[in-house]
Amino acid sequence: MASTTHPATSPAGSTQLSADWRDFVALTKPRVMTLVVFTGLCGLLAARVPVHPVLGFTAILCIALGAGAAAALNQWYEADIDALMKRTARRPLPAGRMARQDALHFGVALGAFSVLLMGVALNWLAAAILLVSILFYVLVYTVWLKRRTAQNIVIGGAAGAFPALIGWAAATGQVGALPLVLFGLVFMWTPPHFWALALFVRPDYAAAGVPMLPVVAGELETRRQILFYSIVMAAVVIAPALFDLAGWLYAAAAVALTVPFLLLAWRVSRSTETDPTRMAPERALFRYSILYLFALFGAVVADRLLLA
Ligand code: HEM
Ligand SMILES: CC(C)=CCC/C(C)=C/CC/C(C)=C/COP(=O)(O)OP(=O)(O)O
């Protein structure tokens, strides 16, 4: 989150470019990226091949830097709409603490460094998937789809599904069936995760003119779609257990974690609340979606390592 300790405007009211290191950290969206990095780490560990700790650390560092670079380039491109939304207005660019060019240079340099380091230290397959995920988030999601279609996050969400695949590829030099299922899982998880939030921050997106589903298709349709994607996600989640890609530990955790997810999605789908300040089930589903993915990926690794 953007720091608030150094004001964006002078006492006279003129804008100052007073970015410090905290603003560059904020530009990488560190809180969101913790889960991105965790899924990457789980992909690496689930591969169950020996990786030297220094190389393993380097791979995860590259995923973190690549994701951070993508986040910086996302903010470079959309400083205009970030300025119009309460949730994002205090970020370094819309708050006027950083020049747009600095964010662009930072993002490009960090992205290039992460991809090259991944290629040199690990392998070029992992580096190529990292590059694709950065380009997907920046070009496909941010530049192309976000302002054009309510399906923006369904397609663009693929960017956030790549890290498990990158972690696996970094360890093995290949992709495999399990990481492909994990990709599908995060891909299907993204719409309920994001639309739950979009329901209660809808006024923000409406004010900025971003065609998110609740703004364009309405709340009822968004609630229906949340339930639909949650059910498809549940089918993908159970697949590793059905197709012998995971053992009983994963199966038990998947059921125990997914039932509450579906119940929350069901509650959201039944709600008729239109006041964003009173959307408790939507907030609960959003919060739970994050906990859910952490726990589920933890279960994948525990299952693979403990039952090996
Ligand atoms: C296109 C796909 C996605 C969209 C549009 C999206 C959008 C958002 C938004 C708007 C927030 C609010 C937090 C903020 O203002 O910083 C958020 C929070 C969060 N997202 Fe997502 N998200 C997506 C995919 C993902 C993925 C793939 C992950 C990780 C695997 C993820 C992890 C998180 C986490 C951990 C938070 C909570 C951050 C906090 O505590 O402040 N998101 N997401
Ligand atoms: C390795 C790699 C490149 C990973 C990328 C991970 C990725 C795509 C995460 C998506 C999560 C995210 C911050 C979406 C925000 O959407 P937004 O930008 O519309 O949110 P905002 O309104 O907060 O800016």
pLDDT mean for each 10 residues of the chain (308 residues): 37 59 96 97 97 98 98 98 96 96 98 98 98 98 97 94 98 97 98 98 96 97 98 98 96 98 98 93 98 98 92
Q: Is the CB of 186 under 6 A from ligand 1?
A: yes
The whole-number pLDDT of residue 18 equals 82
The whole-number pLDDT of residue 157 equals 87
Q: Please name which ligand lies nearest the alpha carbon of 87.
A: 1
Q: Which of ligand 1's atoms lies nearest the C-alpha of 163?
A: 30
Which residue's CA lies nearest to atom 23 of ligand 2?
88
Q: Which of ligand 1's atoms lies nearest the C-alpha of 29?
A: 16
Q: Is the CB of 87 under 6 A from ligand 1?
A: yes
- Residue 202's identity, in one-letter code, is R
The whole-number pLDDT of residue 131 equals 98
CA angle 126, 289, 48 (to 5 degrees): 35
Which residue's CA lies nearest to atom 22 of ligand 1?
194
Q: Which of ligand 1's atoms lies nearest the C-alpha of 160?
A: 27
Residue of 32, 34, 85, 226 to mutate, ligand 1, most atoms within 8 A of C-beta? 32
The whole-number pLDDT of residue 19 equals 86
CA 153 to ligand 2 centroid distance, Å:
10
Which residue's CA lies nearest to atom 39 of ligand 1?
31
Q: Which of ligand 1's atoms lies nearest the C-alpha of 38?
A: 30
Q: Is the CB of 68 under 6 A from ligand 1?
A: no
Which residue's CA lies nearest to atom 40 of ligand 1?
31
Q: Which of ligand 1's atoms lies nearest the C-alpha of 189?
A: 27
Instruction: Return phi, psi of residue 15, to 5°.
Output: -75, 135
Residue with tokens 């660019």: 93
Q: Is the CB of 31 under 6 A from ligand 1?
A: yes
The whole-number pLDDT of residue 17 equals 78
Q: Is the CB of 160 under 6 A from ligand 2?
A: yes
The whole-number pLDDT of residue 3 equals 37
Q: Which of ligand 1's atoms lies nearest the C-alpha of 198?
A: 10
Q: Please name which ligand lies nearest the alpha carbon of 193.
A: 1
Q: Please name which ligand lies nearest the alpha carbon of 32.
A: 1
Max intra-chain CA distance, the chain: 66
Give the global pTM.
0.94
